[in-house]
């Protein structure tokens, strides 16, 4: 009996799952490796962090996705390296996994650009653990201010969000609505209107990848919600109780959310391959790694030429389409057919600011703003969620939140450091530089 080719997929994010799903019914054995046993729907992590959704709404067990595919296997493990010459994936405390073809979709980690204090004290938002930790911290700050109102003057209720891209805009808008519409009733013994939400963006406008009018709309919508928007402003340093901006302005805060960019994780840095912007692995047009034709990189870890001299952005759609394409090239190689170049189909970009406020730039030149864009955003995210149960649960949560403004999971799930004491690294900013994270 012929031995099936073995395809190993590192990462159970958008790119890794897209590759595995494309191969699940083919004449190959597939092993998916991730340090978590679940897939995370990263675009909705900010809603977990702001008490809009439960963790189970945006996570789905990887084994459940392939329970009927007997040739797809899952290994919960930490990838520590890849021996490209011996074709082995090295795991922490587990045996190596051999491969015939390898698809690396190990994702990315927060990029703080070497700003002093940011690595230790900022809150990134790329994993479920980080979303829950941020939610814990935000609620803990309000609890502390309720017990000691004098802390408000020390910046306990000042929240700084760094990065004016979609994630930063969505976090700032969601925090504003959480404070104004939910905490105003929850903490009726506290004047929540003394809280501040400050969005800091180094560029001259928000949503730089969108149409200029979309960025203008987003800024106006945030400011209507009470968010202070600072464009053309960079962060110079971060301390336990304040942030220093370019020009010397000091913002007293105990909560800094970092949404200013990503870089490739430790796995990319450990491989003897060419790297581009943000430490991402340079790939050929077919997404294979130069010098290693049976190794492909997709998603945030890959530095992909867009065909016009630029690089493709780190978006879920790029990862999904790249994962499918890499899987197709594996099949072409097995079937001895010529490989094809990857051509990304831009389906548009979206960002939501809050209830009935969003922007959507579609590739056919259509620009949606306000309620139409918000409805389109809701529908698209429901469609792309993994699992029918998750879609139903998220829809019910959204409907309930819309009708009542009563968000559900306002829980502090584990003790945190008091917000008026130094916050240790483990509580403030868990690092995500481990290989095998979601793509």
Q: Is 46 within the bounds of a domain?
A: no
Q: Is 346 within the bounds of a domain?
A: no
Question: Per DSSP, what are the bridge partners of residue 61?
Answer: 38
Q: How many domains does the chain have?
A: 2
The reply to whether 152 and 239 lie within a common domain is yes
The reply to whether 237 and 272 lie within a common domain is no
Q: pLDDT under 70 in the chain at which residues?
A: 1-2, 415-439
The reply to whether 127 and 242 lie within a common domain is yes
The reply to whether 294 and 192 lie within a common domain is no
pLDDT of residue 396: 94
Q: Is 342 within the bounds of a domain?
A: no
- pTM here is 0.91
Q: Is 70 within the bounds of a domain?
A: no
The reply to whether 240 and 367 lie within a common domain is yes
Beta pairing class for 196-201 and 158-162: parallel
Expressed as residue numbers, the domain containing 365 is 118-260+355-381+408-428
The reply to whether 27 and 151 lie within a common domain is no
Going by the DSSP 8-state scheme, the letter that residue 153 receives in this structure is G
Look at residue 327 and give its three-state secondary structure.
Answer: helix
pLDDT of residue 2: 66
The reply to whether 158 and 270 lie within a common domain is no
Q: Is 138 within the bounds of a domain?
A: yes
Q: Is 4 exposed, middle or buried (0-12, 13-18, 19+ CB in 10 A)?
A: middle
Q: Is 61 within the bounds of a domain?
A: no
> Rounded CA gap, 149 and 143, in Å?
10
Task: Please say whether the beta carbons of 102 and 16 come within 8 A.
Answer: no
Q: Is 311 within the bounds of a domain?
A: yes
pLDDT of residue 125: 96
Active site residue 228: no
Task: State residue 121 phi and psi, 5-degree precision.
Answer: -120, -15
Q: Is 37 exposed, middle or buried (0-12, 13-18, 19+ CB in 10 A)?
A: middle
The reply to whether 238 and 361 lie within a common domain is yes
The reply to whether 197 and 323 lie within a common domain is no
The reply to whether 249 and 376 lie within a common domain is yes
- Other beta carbons within 10 Å of 232: 11
HSE-up (13 A, CA, CB side) for residue 349: 15
The reply to whether 302 and 376 lie within a common domain is no
CATH code, 317: 3.50.50.60
Beta pairing class for 367-369 and 108-110: unpaired
Going by the DSSP 8-state scheme, the letter that residue 360 receives in this structure is E
Of 130, 170, 201, 416, which one is the catalytic site residue? 170
Distances (CA, A) of 396 to 14, 379, 408: 24, 13, 11
CATH code, 142: 3.50.50.100
Q: Is 345 within the bounds of a domain?
A: no
What is the distance in angstroms between the CA of the first residue and the CA of the last residue of the chain? Answer: 35
Last residue of a domain, one of 279, 303, 334: 334
Which residues are CB-contacts of 288 (< 8 A; sequence separation ≥ 6)? 294, 295, 296, 329, 339
pLDDT of residue 1: 53
Strand ranges for 105-223 from DSSP E: 108-110, 158-162, 196-201
The reply to whether 145 and 226 lie within a common domain is yes
């Amino acid at each position: 009996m012929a031995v099936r080719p073995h395809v190993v997929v590192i990462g159970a994010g958008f790119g890794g799952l897209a590759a595995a799903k494309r191969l699940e019914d083919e004449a190959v054995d597939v092993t998916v490796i991730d340090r978590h046993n679940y897939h995370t729907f990263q675009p909705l992590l900010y809603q977990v962090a702001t008490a809009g959704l439960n963790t189970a709404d945006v996570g789905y067990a990887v084994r459940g996705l392939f329970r009927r595919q007997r040739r797809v296997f899952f290994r919960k493990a930490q990838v520590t390296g890849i021996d490209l010459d011996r074709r082995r994936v090295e795991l922490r405390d587990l045996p190596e996994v051999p491969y015939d073809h390898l698809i690396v979709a190990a994702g990315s980690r927060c990029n703080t650009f070497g700003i002093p204090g940011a690595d230790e004290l900022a809150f990134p938002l790329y994993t479920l653990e980080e979303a829950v930790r941020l939610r814990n911290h935000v609620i803990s700050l309000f609890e502390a201010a309720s017990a000691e109102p004098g802390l408000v003057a020390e910046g306990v209720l000042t929240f700084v969000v760094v990065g004016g891209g979609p994630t930063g805009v969505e976090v700032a808008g969601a925090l504003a609505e959480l404070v104004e519409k939910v905490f105003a009733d929850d903490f009726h013994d506290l004047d929540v209107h003394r809280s501040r939400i400050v969005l800091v963006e180094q560029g001259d406008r928000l949503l730089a990848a969108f149409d200029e009018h979309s960025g203008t709309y987003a800024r106006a919508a945030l400011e209507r919600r009470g968010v202070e928007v600072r464009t053309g402003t960079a962060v110079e340093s971060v301390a336990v109780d304040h942030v220093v901006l370019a020009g010397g302005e000091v913002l007293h805060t105990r909560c800094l959310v970092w949404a200013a960019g990503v870089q490739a994780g430790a796995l990319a840095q450990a491989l003897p391959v060419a790297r581009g912007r943000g430490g991402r692995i340079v790939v050929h047009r077919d997404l294979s790694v130069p010098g290693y034709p049976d190794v492909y990189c997709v998603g945030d870890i890959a530095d992909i030429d867009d065909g016009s001299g630029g690089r493709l952005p780190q978006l879920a759609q790029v990862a999904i389409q790249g994962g499918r394409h890499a899987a197709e090239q594996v099949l072409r190689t097995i079937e001895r057919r010529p490989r094809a170049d990857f051509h990304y189909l831009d389906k548009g970009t979206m960002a939501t600011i809050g209830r009935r406020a969003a922007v959507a730039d579609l590739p056919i030149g259509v620009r949606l703003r306000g309620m139409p864009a918000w409805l389109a955003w809701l529908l698209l995210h429901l469609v792309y969620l993994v699992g029918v149960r998750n879609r139903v649960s998220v829809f019910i949560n959204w409907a309930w939140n819309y009708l009542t403004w009563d968000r559900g999971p306002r829980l502090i799930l584990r003790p945190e450091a008091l917000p008026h004491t130094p916050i240790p690294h483990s509580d403030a900013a868990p690092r995500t530089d481990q290989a095998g994270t979601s793509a």
